[in-house]
Amino acid sequence: MIHFAILTLFPSMFDGPLTESILKRAQQAGFIEIDIHNIRDYATDRHRTTDDAPYGGGAGMVMKAEPLAAALRAVRGSPLTDHPPEEQTSTLQPLVLLMSPDGEPLTQSMATELAQYPRIVLVCGHYEGIDERVRTTLIDREVSIGDYILTGGELAAMVLVDAVSRLVPGVLDPESLAEESFSDGLLEYPHYTRPAIWEGQAVPPVLLSGHHGQVALWRRQQRLQRTLMQRPDVLTRSARDGLLTADDLRFLISLGWQPPDR
């Protein structure tokens, strides 16, 4: 079970993406829990102000320290609904993540790590960002979903919740996760289903052979070839990390690949 608390200025953005398909079923089954918190609820003025002009001048606005800090402290101190009071210990304090283009890139490895936490708080930045004093005192880590700029952290938070949730035990069949892209440093192999021939294009005969060993070899080689063609950087990293077998290396070299220097 993992509990996500999302702090945002725009709660309605989450109404659809987090309440459909696998995430919907995971919540209904109790594998994940998602709470949305409106940062404006923690503003103290009658206009519920959450942003102000930056000191030193410049374009845009900055999210104010007071309401964001109040929201964070309230959410961090709230009990887990799925744990009895005697288990509300410091070990269950949430990990606080700021969605930011300055953060660590979100990878499959990071998603696997985050899936081990019982509580995660996601802060969705907006405007020009958040007051630096909140960043340095109340944020544990910053996470980016890519080297580009979004209008806010909401879409990035949805991506992270989706990537992490599917790795929580019980959400998906473990077999579905075994050979996914990036699960072991390679992209996924091609998939086919009925009909066997579609618009003149046939399914590879090996997949119809019933020979499990040949199918497994074909899939492995397809993963290697696809990674070489589409993400050679990932292949190089896998080789350096020792994730490729001797047979993998021989196959790749037959395709013209040059192994990296260790």
Tokens 């119809």 belong to which residue? 208
Tokens 């995660």 belong to which residue? 120
Could you tell me if 30 and 132 lie in one domain? Answer: yes
| Arithmetic mean of pLDDT over the chain | 92
Convert the pLDDT of each residue in 205-255 to its tens digit: 999 999 999 999 999 999 999 999 999 999 999 999 999 999 999 999 999
pLDDT for 182 equals 79
Residue 224: give its domain's CATH number: 1.10.1270.20
Convert the pLDDT of each residue in 122-175 to its tens digit: 999 998 999 999 999 999 999 999 999 999 999 999 999 999 999 999 999 887
Could you tell me if 115 and 152 lie in one domain? Answer: yes
Could you tell me if 60 and 135 lie in one domain? Answer: yes
SS3 assignment, position 13: helix
Strands (E), 18-164: 32-38, 51-52, 62-63, 95-105, 119-124, 141-144
- Please indicate whether residue 83 or residue 127 has the higher confidence score (pLDDT): 127
* Nearest alpha carbon to residue 122 among 99, 148, 105, 106: 99
pLDDT for 80 equals 55
Could you tell me if 239 and 126 lie in one domain? Answer: no
Q: Do the domain assignments include residue 261?
A: no
Q: Do the domain assignments include residue 260?
A: no
Could you tell me if 84 and 201 lie in one domain? Answer: no
- All residues at 6 or more sequence positions from 217 whose CB lies less than 8 Å from its CB, including other chains: none
Residue 253 and residue 260: Cα distance in Å, rounded? 11
pLDDT level of residue 258 (50, 70, 90 thresholds): very high
Query: Which tokens is 187 given?
Result: 């992209």
Could you tell me if 193 and 157 lie in one domain? Answer: no
pLDDT for 36 equals 98
pLDDT for 175 equals 76
Specify the number of domains making up the chain: 2
pLDDT for 89 equals 44
Length of the chain: 262
Amino acid code (one letter) for 137: T
pLDDT for 155 equals 98
Query: Which tokens is 195 given?
Result: 């009909």
Q: Which domain holds residue 225?
A: 179-254
Could you tell me if 191 and 159 lie in one domain? Answer: no
Could you tell me if 14 and 116 lie in one domain? Answer: yes
Q: Do the domain assignments include residue 51?
A: yes
| Angle between helix 246-254 and helix 212-230 axes, rounded to 10 deg | 60
Could you tell me if 146 and 190 lie in one domain? Answer: no
pLDDT for 183 equals 73
pLDDT exceeds cutoff 60 at 70: yes
Residue 68: give its domain's CATH number: 3.40.1280.10
SS3 assignment, position 197: strand
Convert the pLDDT of each residue in 241-255 to its tens digit: 999 999 999 999 999
Could you tell me if 140 and 217 lie in one domain? Answer: no
Phi, psi of 46 (to 5 degrees): -70, -20
Could you tell me if 206 and 110 lie in one domain? Answer: no
Sign of CA dihedral 160, 65, 81, 36: negative
Phi, psi of 110 (to 5 degrees): -65, -40
pLDDT for 69 equals 98
